[in-house]
């Protein structure tokens, strides 16, 4: 099925280009004709997934996001496309299977350009593992492999579980402690280059299929068939009438619909230089003392960093815009990972830290780590359809369930869901994905980091600007900054630093890049608005 013209897209119809001028045009058009099929509130992975699902089924769809795409939890994840092993360990078979299936869909069809197979190794260090724990982990890894097989994901994509010797372990994670090292157990999972980039790819693809995607637009007074939309840049308000309203606001779901009760849990990661662990190419998995199912991971990341995570802490009270890690979480993460490292990391090695809130459904007592990661689609007395819980990995299934519910309850005129076969912008098989244009040079001349972030949409980036780095030591190019404004809906420098790129994860990096980013953003916004 080819992209169709959106009701409000005008000259942008059929394109996945999001920019400030499109936003103005679509807000104007929505004000002129505010009757739509589906209003999606929230522009995280879930809301962007719902918008793509609905628009690709032919529904007149509008997504509103109060701040920016991926402003919430969707940018604070571990960036893993999980096969569900952890859920298997806690008996959540349905979630585990769903994760494995969705991982396969993402890695083979919808977003393979943004995901790589990541080896995850558990070092066999006798004092790190309790008696019998290695056997337990091996059994779990094999069960994960069985899930992969039943989900139909080929071993060529995610290699089978194996044991490797100490030398090979050191080659994959040079910083690992070697005294007593007897090798390691290795399993593979999917790893996104970045979570926020998945959200942007989803939103752009939704826009290409006709969805109106509006950032800096807050939904207020939301009920089952209407909402008041506030343009937070101008203060202008408009009322929309919708066949159905889907609340996909994650941890904010209870603010949009007060019948929803959540129990947010905070997860924290620390960022250290990859150099401090000898530039690992695999994730180091360290058991948390006293637990059979919890681990701390050291995950290699883009921009030369390793993320060490994660925690699982009750986070009651008002929802902050940007949750903050606590000192206790920092110490817990460093202490746990240091048990497996040759040279212990200290607070001085920590370049940055981030925390996110899991939108867990409140099921009463118990630790947040024990709350099911299953998603739920709930219709409230006001008629709002809320989709909440779940995982980044399972966003597509969550979106399908939410739209199915809206279609069933409100009789919306939708075709069947086909997002499992719909490649996102940049993925092989997407109509606009292209090999690099002649003259742009061989792939070798285009930074591998740019290809990892843009896939088959790299040609758009090459046309947007120069391939010189935005600041010394950063592999983000000036072209990517321009492209974020001209194609990815960035409206200011913070959108670019904190969400289109992840330069902002380390304050020193952001400080080095900010002036150049602000300059390019101002120039590109001028061009966009000038037509
Ligand atoms: C620390 C951590 C690590 C994780 N790691 C993984 C992982 O590795 N793999 C995995 O699969 N999952 C992971 N998860 C889970 C996953 O990140 C979340 O389930 C997912 O990102 C939730 O996305 P969402 O779109 O539902 O919510 P959000 O991303 O929070 O999106 C909600 C959006 O709604 C907007 N909004 C709120 N109110 C309004 C309003 N009134 N009007 C308009 N917009 C509004 C917000 O600005 C926000 O952008 C992790 C979660 C955490 C916390």
Run of H or E including 298: strand 295-300
Going from the Cα of 76 to the center of ligand 1, the distance in angstroms, rounded, reads: 8
Is the CB of residue 389 below 6 angstroms from any atom belonging to ligand 1? no
Q: Which two tokens stand for residue 129?
A: 């593992």
Q: Select from 74, 82, 326 the residue to mutate for testing ligand 1; criterion: most ligand atoms less than 8 Å from CB.
A: 74
DSSP 312-372: -EE--SSPPSS----HHHHHHHHHHHHTTBSS---GGGEEEEEEEEE--B--SSS-GGGS-
C-alpha 494/C-alpha 140 separation (Å) is 42
Q: Count other Cβ atoms within 10 Å, centred on residue 469.
A: 17
Query: Which atom from ligand 1 is nearest to the alpha carbon of 222?
Result: 41
Is the CB of residue 187 below 6 angstroms from any atom belonging to ligand 1? no
Name the DSSP class of 92: -
The whole-model pTM stands at: 0.96
Is the CB of residue 350 below 6 angstroms from any atom belonging to ligand 1? no
What is the chain's pLDDT, residue by residue, as a tens digit (531 residues)?
A: 555 545 556 789 899 999 999 999 999 999 999 999 999 999 999 999 999 999 999 999 999 999 999 999 999 999 999 988 878 777 788 889 999 999 999 999 999 999 999 999 999 998 999 889 999 999 999 999 999 999 999 999 999 999 999 999 999 999 999 999 999 999 999 999 999 999 999 999 999 999 999 999 999 999 999 999 999 999 999 999 999 999 999 999 999 999 999 999 999 999 999 999 999 999 999 999 988 778 999 999 999 999 999 999 999 999 999 999 999 999 999 999 999 999 999 999 999 999 999 999 887 666 666 666 789 999 999 999 999 999 999 999 999 999 999 999 999 999 999 999 999 999 999 988 776 655 454 455 789 999 999 999 999 999 999 999 999 999 999 999 999 999 999 999 999 999 999 999 999 999 999 999 999 999 999 999 886
C-alpha 495/C-alpha 475 separation (Å) is 18
Is the CB of residue 83 below 6 angstroms from any atom belonging to ligand 1? no
Q: Count other Cβ atoms within 10 Å, centred on residue 256.
A: 23
Is the CB of residue 192 below 6 angstroms from any atom belonging to ligand 1? no
DSSP 476-517: -BHHHHHHHHHTB---SHHHIIIIIS-GGGSHHHHHHHHHHH
Name the DSSP class of 252: G
C-alpha 521/C-alpha 490 separation (Å) is 8
């Amino acid at each position: 099925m080819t992209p169709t013209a959106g009701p409000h897209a005008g000259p942008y119809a059929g394109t996945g280009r999001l920019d400030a001028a499109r936003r103005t045009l679509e807000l104007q058009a929505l004000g002129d004709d505010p009757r739509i099929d589906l209003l999606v509130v929230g522009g995280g992975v879930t809301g962007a997934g719902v918008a793509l699902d609905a628009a690709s089924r032919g529904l007149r769809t509008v997504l509103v996001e109060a701040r920016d795409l991926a402003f919430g939890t969707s940018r604070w994840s571990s960036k893993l496309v999980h096969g569900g092993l952890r859920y298997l360990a806690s008996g959540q078979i349905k979630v585990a299977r769903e994760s494995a299936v969705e991982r396969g869909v993402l890695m083979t069809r919808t977003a393979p350009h943004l995901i790589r197979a990541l080896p995850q190794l558990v070092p066999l260090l006798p004092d790190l593992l309790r008696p019998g724990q290695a056997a337990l982990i091996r059994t779990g890894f094999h069960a994960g492999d069985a899930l992969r097989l039943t989900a139909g994901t080929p071993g060529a994509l995610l290699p089978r579980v194996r044991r490797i010797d100490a030398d090979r372990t050191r080659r994959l994670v040079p910083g690992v402690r070697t005294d007593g090292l007897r090798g390691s157990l290795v399993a593979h999972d999917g790893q996104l280059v970045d979570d926020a980039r998945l959200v942007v790819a989803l939103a752009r693809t939704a826009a290409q299929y006709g969805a109106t995607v509006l950032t800096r637009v807050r939904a207020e007074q939301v009920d089952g068939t209407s909402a008041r939309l506030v343009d937070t840049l101008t203060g202008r308000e408009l009322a929309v009438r919708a066949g159905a309203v889907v609340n996909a606001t994650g941890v904010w779901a209870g603010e949009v619909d007060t019948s929803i009760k959540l129990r947010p849990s905070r997860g924290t990661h620390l960022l250290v230089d990859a150099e401090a662990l000898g530039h690992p190419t695999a994730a180091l998995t360290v058991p948390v003392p006293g637990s059979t199912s919890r681990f701390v991971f050291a995950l290699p990341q883009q921009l030369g960093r390793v993320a060490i995570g994660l925690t699982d802490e009750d986070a009651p009270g008002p929802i902050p815009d940007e949750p903050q890690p606590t000192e206790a979480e920092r110490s817990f993460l460093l202490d746990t990972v240091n048990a497996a490292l040759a040279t212990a990391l200290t607070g001085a090695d920590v370049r940055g830290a981030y925390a996110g809130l899991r939108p867990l459904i409140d099921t009463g007592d118990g630790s947040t780590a024990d709350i099911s990661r299953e998603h739920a689609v709930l219709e409230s007395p006001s008629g709002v359809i809320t989709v909440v819980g779940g995982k980044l990995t399972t966003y597509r299934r969550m979106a399908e369930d939410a739209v199915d519910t809206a279609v069933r309850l409100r009789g919306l005129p939708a075709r069947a869901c086909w997002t499992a076969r719909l490649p996102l912008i940049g993925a092989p098989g997407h109509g606009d994905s292209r090999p690099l244009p002649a003259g742009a040079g061989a792939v070798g001349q285009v930074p591998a980091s740019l290809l990892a972030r843009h896939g088959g949409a790299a040609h758009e980036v090459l046309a947007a600007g120069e391939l010189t780095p935005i600041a010394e030591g950063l592999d983000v190019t000036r072209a990517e900054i321009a492209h974020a404004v001209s194609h990815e809906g960035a409206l200011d420098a913070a959108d670019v630093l904190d969400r289109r790129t992840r330069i902002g994860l380390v304050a020193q990096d952001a400080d080095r890049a900010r002036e150049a980013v602000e300059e390019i953003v101002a120039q590109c916004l001028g061009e966009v608005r000038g037509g």
